[in-house]
């Protein structure tokens, strides 16, 4: 087997993580000697967002809590001054060479693929934006690091991996693989990039280009979720599944709000005292409340599907209205972080 030691240790010894993209980034960064918590990776990547996504071929609309796949990676690496090298191709042969080349030099590789084809996934759902880290392979299997929920250090057959990478559909990429390298002298500290990451995330959330995104998207969901019993093809199946995705579908809980809450607390500790730190702590308090409310929304959606009681969805819609206001006000505070941050 060609194998890479991740961060100087067996990858099975790395800390458990809950979201696929931050999990892969953690592996690649530890190989460069950069060890950041999962909330810090998510926050420095300006990962928080919201999308209400619906189409005729969906059983029930999708509530998403983060930016598009791979945008977090681009945001994080640009902010920290890392060398991000991305390869895409329509050729399966070239795609494999793009992976084995870096592995042969001792560098782990990130892969974007469709999780439906990976044998270790117990739930077979097409998701073309899934991201894993690959640290080795042998004649039959690829050696991967995925989220703790999916088993952490896992293996996938080379044939199924090729199918997952070649898949086409929503959110897929053309055999995308990528590597990271720290610049000479090492990357800037997270503290140096903190303010820019927070304000960029806040500005995008406050000024979405369409009504399905950001705080406007949450407000839209507040009006539409109460109609989901009529919208869902099979409410008893579809609504609990939608709720499961919000809480356990790699979101870190509460549709990514728990991760962002913890990032804001860690960021405030990094900044110490002063106006910027106080604004981060105010944001942390707001997102602690938001995380609790999102969990309540998910529970109400699940209960509505299980019971057929539309009042649960009416209550969920009211909570979403509160969340739209709460998160908008929190982001308005965080968007001014750069006005009084230390030089």
CA distance 262 to 260: 5
Which conformational region is residue 137 in: left (phi greater than 0), alpha (psi within -120 to 50 degrees), or beta? beta
CA distance 225 to 298: 11
What's the longest Cα–Cα distance across the chain? 60
What's the confidence (pLDDT) of residue 341?
47
CA proximity to 256, closest of 38, 67, 66:
66
What's the confidence (pLDDT) of residue 29?
95
What's the confidence (pLDDT) of residue 50?
98
What's the confidence (pLDDT) of residue 11?
58
CA distance 180 to 236: 44
What's the confidence (pLDDT) of residue 1?
63
Which conformational region is residue 159 in: left (phi greater than 0), alpha (psi within -120 to 50 degrees), or beta? alpha
CATH 2.30.29 holds for 2-35+83-181: no
Q: Are 150 and 8 in contact (CB under 8 A)?
A: no
271-301 burial code (b ≥16 CB/10 A, e <16):
beeeebbebbbbbbebbbbbbebbbebbebb
What's the confidence (pLDDT) of residue 245?
94
CA distance 36 to 43: 11
| DSSP notation for 3-36 | E--BTTB-GGGSPP-SSHHHHHHHHHHHHTT---
What's the confidence (pLDDT) of residue 332?
98
CA distance 202 to 191: 17
Q: Are 301 and 225 in contact (CB under 8 A)?
A: yes
Q: Could you tell me which residues come within 8 angstroms of residue 225 by beta carbon, excluding any fewer than 6 positions away? A: 297, 301, 313, 316, 317, 320
Burial class for 103, CB neighbours closer than 10 Å (0-12, 13-18, 19+): buried
Instruction: Kindly state the helix (H) or strand (E) to which residue 206 belongs, with its residue range.
Output: helix 190-206
Q: Any idea where the domains of the chain sit in the sequence?
A: 2-35+83-181, 190-339
CA angle centred on 163, ends 130 and 109, rounded to 5°: 50
Burial class for 168, CB neighbours closer than 10 Å (0-12, 13-18, 19+): exposed
Which tokens go with 59? 């059983």
What's the confidence (pLDDT) of residue 338?
80
CA distance 41 to 26: 8
CA distance 178 to 273: 38
0.85 exceeded by pTM: yes
233-249 burial code (b ≥16 CB/10 A, e <16):
eebeebbbbbbebbbeb
* Residue range 130-165, pLDDT digits in tens: 999 999 999 999 999 999 999 999 999 999 999 999
Instruction: Kindly state the helix (H) or strand (E) to which residue 131 belongs, with its residue range.
Output: strand 130-137
DSSP state of 273: S
Backbone torsions φ then ψ of 68, nearest 5 degrees: -60, 155
Spans in the chain with pLDDT lower than 50 = 7-9, 341-343
């Amino acid at each position: 087997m060609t194998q890479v030691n991740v961060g100087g240790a067996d990858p099975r010894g790395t800390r458990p993580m809950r979201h696929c993209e931050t999990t892969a980034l953690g592996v690649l960064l530890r190989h460069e000697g950069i060890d950041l918590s999962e909330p810090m990776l998510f926050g420095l990547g300006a990962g928080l967002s919201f999308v209400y996504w619906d189409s005729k071929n969906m059983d029930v609309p999708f509530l998403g809590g983060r930016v598009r796949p791979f945008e977090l990676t681009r945001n994080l690496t640009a902010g920290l001054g890392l060398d991000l090298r991305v390869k895409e191709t329509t050729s399966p042969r070239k795609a494999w060479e793009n992976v084995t080349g870096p592995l042969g030099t001792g560098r782990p590789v990130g892969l974007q693929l469709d999780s439906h084809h990976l044998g270790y996934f117990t739930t077979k759902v097409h998701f073309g934006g899934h991201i894993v880290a690959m640290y080795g392979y042998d004649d039959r299997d690829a050696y991967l690091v995925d989220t703790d929920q999916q088993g952490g250090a896992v293996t996938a057959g080379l044939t199924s991996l090729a199918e997952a990478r070649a898949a086409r559909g929503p959110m897929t990429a053309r055999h995308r693989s990528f590597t990271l390298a720290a610049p000479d002298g090492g990357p800037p500290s997270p503290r140096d990039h903190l303010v820019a990451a927070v304000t960029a995330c806040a500005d995008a959330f406050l000024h979405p280009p369409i009504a399905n995104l950001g705080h406007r998207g949450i407000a839209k969901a507040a009006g539409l979720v109460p109609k989901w019993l009529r919208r869902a093809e099979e409410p008893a199946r579809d609504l609990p599944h939608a709720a499961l995705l919000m809480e356990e579908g790699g979101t870190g809980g509460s549709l990514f709000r728990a991760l962002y809450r913890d990032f804001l607390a860690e960021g405030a500790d990094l900044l110490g005292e002063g106006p910027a730190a106080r604004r981060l702590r105010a944001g942390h308090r707001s997102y602690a409340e938001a995380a609790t409310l999102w969990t309540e929304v998910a529970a109400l959606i699940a209960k509505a599907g299980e019971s057929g009681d539309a009042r649960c969805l009416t209550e969920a819609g009211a909570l979403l209205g509160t969340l739209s206001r709460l998160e908008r006000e929190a982001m308005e505070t965080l968007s001014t972080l750069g006005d009084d941050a230390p030089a």
